Amino acid sequence: MLAKRIIPCLDCDFGVPQGRVVKGIEFKQIRYAGVPWELATRYYEEGADEIIFLDITASHERRETMVNVIKKTAERVFVPLTVGGGIQTVEDAKKAFDAGADKVTVNTAALNRPDIISEIAGQYGNQACVVAIDAKRRYENVEDRIVVPSSKGDCWFECSLYGGREFSGIDAVAWAQKVEELGAGEIMLTSMDGDGTYDGFDIELTETVSTRVMIPVIASGGCGNAHHMLEVFQKTHASAALAASIFHYHEWSIGEVKKYLAENGVQVRL
């Protein structure tokens, strides 16, 4: 049986030599966590099923650093590498693939120009094109939105772009279905309300999306402990769970999380 995947996510600032891993809370308040390739290697050795690098650099001279980090990582980390953040064109995606990435994630570029999904999928295969969706809960009524009952009242989910700095007005659930049609191989679904909070995954968001698409969904945003991972696998159809802070700051190792999941009946790679 296919195992649930545990994926550490490294938000990277490539504005300094070698790059650095940073982590914010609700997309703000940045803390430093280490050097990207070193951290990726540590996670690989701990049993990470995949590694995600997200480029959050503000400057534009970052590409060379990013390429070097991917190359160095791919020489010693033998699990899939996904690279995202700031991929605006197929040419950007090509740079990441050429450096050794197995998949890329697109977010803002896809919202602005959905055809980029089919272009990347057409060239590199559906499996190589991950669409990242950053979703924010909205409790006010708007017509034609997919409304989900939640403990805090009925809500819908709005797609954000530019790393949480802008909102699109687009319904995240409908968008997830659309990106599947366009050829996305996977959805990385981040709850903006949960990101960095340690309060747990957004179960309602994750379950709503993962039951409406037939491609894998990676749950992201809010993981504070192994129990949150267990909860997201028990209550939703997510194929993978992503976390950053709990791994960066040695609160849980990937091995400990997996052991806990296995003891509770979740299929994982040990």
Q: How far is the CB of 266 from another protein (least distance, A)?
A: 13
Pairing mode, strands 51-55 and 28-34: unpaired
Element (H, E) at 12: strand 5-13
Site residues (CB under 8 A) for another protein?
1-5, 44, 47, 49, 71, 74-76, 78-80, 97-98, 100, 102, 124-128, 185-186, 214-216, 239-240, 269
Task: Assess whether 193 carries a catalytic annotation.
Answer: no
**Catalytic residue of the set 55, 134, 195, 202:** 134
What does each C-alpha distance from 86 to 57, 63, 89, 186, 216 come to in angstroms? 8, 10, 9, 18, 22
Task: Assess whether 13 carries a catalytic annotation.
Answer: no
User: Of 24 and 80, which has the nearer Cβ to another protein?
Assistant: 80
User: Of 106 and 184, which has the nearer Cβ to another protein?
Assistant: 184
Q: How far is the CB of 239 from another protein (least distance, A)?
A: 6
Pairing mode, strands 186-191 and 217-220: parallel
User: Of 31 and 269, which has the nearer Cβ to another protein?
Assistant: 269
Q: How far is the CB of 178 from another protein (least distance, A)?
A: 18
Compute the distance between CA of residue 234 and CA of residue 42 in angstroms, rounded to an integer.
28
User: Of 64 and 75, which has the nearer Cβ to another protein?
Assistant: 75
Compute the distance between CA of residue 42 and CA of residue 40 in angstroms, rounded to an integer.
5
Q: How far is the CB of 38 from another protein (least distance, A)?
A: 17
What does each C-alpha distance from 141 to 66, 157, 167 come to in angstroms? 42, 11, 16
Residues noted as catalytic:
11, 134
